[in-house]
Amino acid sequence: MSRYMYEKHYPGHKSVFKLNDIAIGEDFVIAAGPCAVESEQQLKAVINQIYPYVHVVRGGLFKARTSPHAFSGVGSSGIDWLTEVSQKYDKPVVVEALDREQLALLAPKIDIIQIGARNMYNYPLLAAAAATERIILLKRHFAATVDELLLAAEHILTQGNPNVILCERGIRTFETRTRNCLDLGAVAALKQLTHLPIFVDPSHAAGDASLVPPLCRAAVAAGADGLLLEVHQAPAKALSDGPQSLTPSQLKQICVDVNAILSGVFCRDSRINVEF
Ligand code: PEP
Ligand code: MN
């Protein structure tokens, strides 16, 4: 008998959550959209360009910004804009909730509730999120161990909600060249330890859009079940996380590369010079 609900019991054991026509945990999932929804026009402009490559639309409405002077999101007025886009393109939506009030606003209309890195340790919020019965995208805190992430997931699972996606988004190390250090070792370890789907967010790890494509490829190779990506129609003008935001055409190229890796035909410039 195992002690924890997150535990994998046999090599092929995996949780699969059906959402519209996607099977999270089985199909590879691209969840992408702006860091922050800035206006109805901006949301429509970016999603209109990326919807063919996206399974789930992301868009932050309540932003946990490090500086209180930074843009903190449009708030609940964006819920209807996201619902409209979701219906128009038939794509589910993921939005972060920072507290119980926001959970109550989002849960009736938003398919996936994101618990951000800063709130991974907020156990009452995890319990409240579980009670919405929505799929929960749980991001790893930037100072959390793999076991702490798994136990945070356990707080949701033990409340009777089995629909948890884990998300590696980079941790703090001595390195300053990247915003955070994308811990793909954790992804490989999580794949062994848990049946839960594991997404990777290279945008917040890299902090730099030019680093995101190679990190996406590496994440897929490490066994990720999906990617969470920030995309903006004009990254230089973004009100939040512009430097790490992809353009729509960069997202398209990432999807081509991910597909190639998943189909086992990814071609690199050089090859290992041995006969197989
Ligand atoms: C986000 O994905 O919008 C976000 C704020 O990320 P994190 O919680 O990982 O910092
Ligand atoms: Mn962001």
N residues, the chain: 276
Q: Which pLDDT does position 268 carry in this prediction?
A: 62
pLDDT digits (tens, 9 = 90+) for 111-125: 999 999 999 999 999
Share of the chain above pLDDT 90, in %: 95
Tell me which residues have their CB closer than 6 angstroms to ligand 1. Answer: 35, 60, 64, 96, 116-118, 139, 169, 204
Q: Which pLDDT does position 1 carry in this prediction?
A: 59
According to DSSP, the β-strands at 93-96 and 22-24 are unpaired
Q: Which pLDDT does position 5 carry in this prediction?
A: 98
Mean pLDDT of all residues in 218-246: 98
| Whole-angstrom distance, CA of residue 212 vs CA of residue 228 | 11
Q: Which of 204, 228, 232, 245 to mutate to test the pocket of ligand 1 (most atoms within 8 A of CB)?
A: 204
Give the orientation angle of helix 78-89 with respect to helix 40-50, to 10 degrees. 20
pLDDT digits (tens, 9 = 90+) for 137-178: 999 999 999 999 999 999 999 999 999 999 999 999 999 999
Q: Which pLDDT does position 214 carry in this prediction?
A: 97
pLDDT digits (tens, 9 = 90+) for 71-90: 999 999 999 999 999 999 99
Task: Considering every ligand atom shown, identify the ligand nearest to the alpha carbon of residue 245 and give its number.
Answer: 2
Residue type at 57 in one-letter notation: V
CA atoms within 13 A on the CB side of 154: 15
Query: Is the confidence at residue 269, as pLDDT, over 80?
Result: no
Q: Which pLDDT does position 265 carry in this prediction?
A: 73
**Closest ligand 1 atom to Cα of 118:** 8
pTM above 0.95, yes or no: yes
Looking at ligand 1, which residue's alpha carbon is closest to its atom 10?
117
pLDDT digits (tens, 9 = 90+) for 21-44: 999 999 999 999 999 999 999 999
| Whole-angstrom distance, CA of residue 230 vs CA of residue 135 | 20
Mean pLDDT of all residues in 54-74: 96
Looking at ligand 1, which residue's alpha carbon is closest to its atom 9?
117
Q: Which of 95, 112, 114 to mutate to test the pocket of ligand 1 (most atoms within 8 A of CB)?
A: 114
* Of the candidates 188, 197, 178, the residue with the CA atom closest to the CA atom of residue 221: 188
**Closest ligand 1 atom to Cα of 64:** 5
Beta bridge partners of 96: 114
> 122: which residues sit within 8 A by CB, 6+ positions away?
115
Helices marked H in 197-274 — which ranges? 202-206, 212-222, 248-262
Share of the chain above pLDDT 70, in %: 96
Query: Is the confidence at residue 276, as pLDDT, over 80?
Result: no
Mean per-residue pLDDT over the chain, rounded: 96
**Closest ligand 1 atom to Cα of 96:** 3
Q: Which pLDDT does position 7 carry in this prediction?
A: 98
* Of the candidates 65, 75, 114, the residue with the CA atom closest to the CA atom of residue 92: 114
